[in-house]
Structure 1
Amino acid sequence: MDLTPLDIRYQEFPTGLRGYQKEVVKAYLAQVAEAMEALIRENEALRERLKALEEENARLKEAEGELKRAVVAAERIARELKAQAEREAELIRKEALAAKEEVLREAALELRRIREDVERARREKALFLSQFRALLQGYLDSLGRLEEK
């Protein structure tokens, strides 16, 4: 039988010749004591549960703080990596432009050398042809003089 505050408040004990019957009062007090012990045990269990939940809450708050710090650190690292990648990309672009300029410069020099070689070959050809014509003309002239004799 569970006791309520009203049960305790309005409990009446039968009286005997010399007052209340001691056995009934003692039995009722024992019942009240058992109920109180149960309440105390339940109260202590609830306090322990509350303490455990508060510790868990503190642990979770600490983990949340660590997680927030980790997220902030990850965002910072991501920004740094992005900035570094952008710097590296710019450096690669500049190196590629410089390499392109070098290739173009070398190609222009090679073109100039080839054009000079072609021009020199044309001059040599023209010289050769003029010398060959002169040789042929000299040969023809000498043949013509031999025929006249």
Structure 2
Amino acid sequence: MPLTPLDIHNKEFGRRLRGYDEDEVNEFLDQVIKDYESIIRENKELQNQVLALQEKLNHFANIEETLSKTIIVAQEAADEVKNNSKKEAQLILKEAEKNADRIINESLSKSRKVALEVEELKKQASIYRARFRTLVEAQLDLLSQDGWSSLEDSSRETAAYLDK
């Protein structure tokens, strides 16, 4: 068990002949008591400082651990967002490719349909022209026939009859 200032103060030495000077010993003991009390006080203060610093160290260690965990969580979240963004981008790209293929297929289908319609219209125009040509030729043949002159004569006679 450690020595206390009170132990030093209460210490009694036996007396002998030719012993030490009692006043000197008491003065020395008083000085030892003061120094010893000072050292004990300083030791307690240092222990309190150590405890305070240990608490701060623990606090900062907790903060460091929390920050480390937070950084890990943030990194994981960033990685997840990045992966989700890549997946979403791939889905958007696939959807765009599907839409592009659909639009191209629809355009090709419409183009073929228009080409068929154009061919059909060309055929109909050719048939119409042939029929019209036939009709015009038939009309010209009719005009060049002799029947027109007799028709002209009868129409003059009818007009003369009506004038009367």
TM tier relative to shorter chain: 0.7 to 0.9
Report the CA distance between 1:93 and its aligned residue. 0.6
RMSD (Å), alpha carbons: 2.1
Q: Any gaps of 5 or more consecutive residues in structure 1?
A: 1-16
Match of 1:105 in 2: 105
With the length of structure 2 as denominator, give the TM-score of the two structures.
0.72
Query: How do residues 109-128 of structure 1 correspond to structure 2 at under 5 angstroms?
Result: 109-128=109-128
Report the CA distance between 1:97 and its aligned residue. 0.5
With the length of structure 1 as denominator, give the TM-score of the two structures.
0.79
Instruction: Give the whole-Å Cα distance in 1 for the aligned partners of 2:146 and 2:95.
Output: 74
Identity percentage of aligned residues? 30
Q: Any gaps of 5 or more consecutive residues in structure 2?
A: 1-16, 150-164
State whether structure 2 residue 44 is matched by structure 1 residue 44: yes
State whether structure 2 residue 144 is matched by structure 1 residue 144: yes
Higher relative contact order (CA 8 A, sep 6+): 2
Match of 1:85 in 2: 85
Larger radius of gyration: 2
Match of 2:96 in 1: 96
Match of 1:8 in 2: none
Instruction: Give the whole-Å Cα distance in 2 for the aligned partners of 1:19 and 1:97.
Output: 113
Q: 1:88-126 deviations in whole A, cap 9, x for unaligned?
A: 011001100111011101101210121122112211210
Aligned length: 133
